[in-house]
Amino acid sequence: MIRAIRGFKDILPGEAAWWQRIEAEARRVMDRFGYQEARVPVVERTELFARSIGQDTDIVEKEMFSFADRHGESLTLRPEATAGLVRAVIEHNLAADGRPLKFFLMGPMFRYERPQKGRQRQFHQLNVEVFNVAEPLIDAELIVLLDHFLSTAGLSGVEIHLNSLGCPACRPAYREKLAAFLRGKMDLLCPDCTRRAEANPLRVLDCKVPTCIEAVADAPRTLDALCPACQTHFDAVQAAMGGLEVVVDPNLVRGLDYYTRTVFEAQTTDLGGQNAVGGGGRYDALVKTLGGPDIPAVGWAVGLERLVMLLAEQGGLETEGPELFVAVLDETALARAFDLVQSLRRAGLKAEMDYAPASLKSQLRRAGKMQAQRVLIMGPDELNRGAGTLKDMVSGAQSDLPLNLTAEAMAERIRQGGF
């Protein structure tokens, strides 16, 4: 037997229904906030991610699925979506007129890491990205949007954490100060952080190894090194939250090199050490770094596997059964029942049936497992009198349903319980 690759998980019909509800809610919320859907390829040139994410990150060093094509060019299954969308904005000159660009996208990402709770090697994200807006109000809008989406999806117990990483004017001095601090902690750092302490010291703050977390507990804070412009921006973001409570978290740096100024995460305690449901920040230099115009940008991403898992654990997800199950008792009623089910579906009713006659007891049992709201019983007696027996699966009440009604009228009667 051939099995699925480790870290690549099947999403089967029962669980897929939850995904569909979350994706539908995402589209409703994004439309309400004025964000348009974009779709970009899952395969890009490896250089795109090496330049955008950063050579000294775990993603580029250890986690990318990269391969050479038939012409020897290095390609990579996307480990995140922002770089691909930035590439599309540049390639299609979307930012030329200076108007705000507000996008969202959903789809699979790929990282070679140890599968664990809420994390697979193929995983799915909802991404939201904005270009051409430098004002702090858009940072605040995105944070409010993240909180609103998680809330309307049904997730509770989420905290929004917020920090600022400064900008090219103030970060270099902070970087040197942090590097000097880390030189005195080298004996406590893991091998990766020992190497990064000079090359990319901010990555050490993002390490999840316990000894590294302890080593940087009293490290210099980015918030103490902000220039006046970054401080003003950060204060304005906090002031614009519109009543949303956030936790200012000086240790929050996120895991990608392209972030500047605002960074934020939606966190929960229900995932153990991997407590981030989603997050993002501002990346004002990324478009220019990848060969485009010097325009500001900000965005976030939510891991859909984690969200589905958390909603299931909180009881926030339930699959809905059909509105009607047609129980066919013998061959004489089978063709009539089949035509009826198709007509009711075209009339907008969610209807099901078995494709061979069976006993009433077995079909009622099947309807119960499917969580059908009502059952229409059709056999020779029902055909002779021109009316099926409609049974409510919750109350047990029964009524006759004329079979000569139009599909639309019958669907309405079924929704009303036959009356």
pLDDT in tens, 55-73: 656 677 778 999 999 999 9
Domain 324-415 indexed as CATH 1.10.287.610: no
* All structural domains of the chain with their residue ranges: 13-170+226-313, 324-415
Name the stretches of the chain with pLDDT < 70: 54-58, 255-256, 269-274, 316-319, 418-419
pLDDT score recorded for residue 208: 80
13-170+226-313 folds as: BirA Bifunctional Protein; domain 2 (3.30.930)
Q: CA-to-CA distance for 33 and 132, rounded, in angstroms? A: 17
Q: What is the pLDDT of residues 118-153, one digit of tens each?
A: 789 999 999 999 999 999 999 999 999 999 999 999
Task: List all residues 6 or more positions away from 76 whose beta carbon is below 8 Å from its beta carbon.
Answer: 43, 44, 45, 46, 48, 49, 64, 65, 66, 67
Predicted structure pTM score = 0.85
pLDDT score recorded for residue 157: 86
Q: CA-to-CA distance for 315 and 317, rounded, in angstroms? A: 6
pLDDT score recorded for residue 270: 62
Question: How many CB atoms are located within 10 Å of the residue 410 CB?
Answer: 24
pLDDT score recorded for residue 144: 96
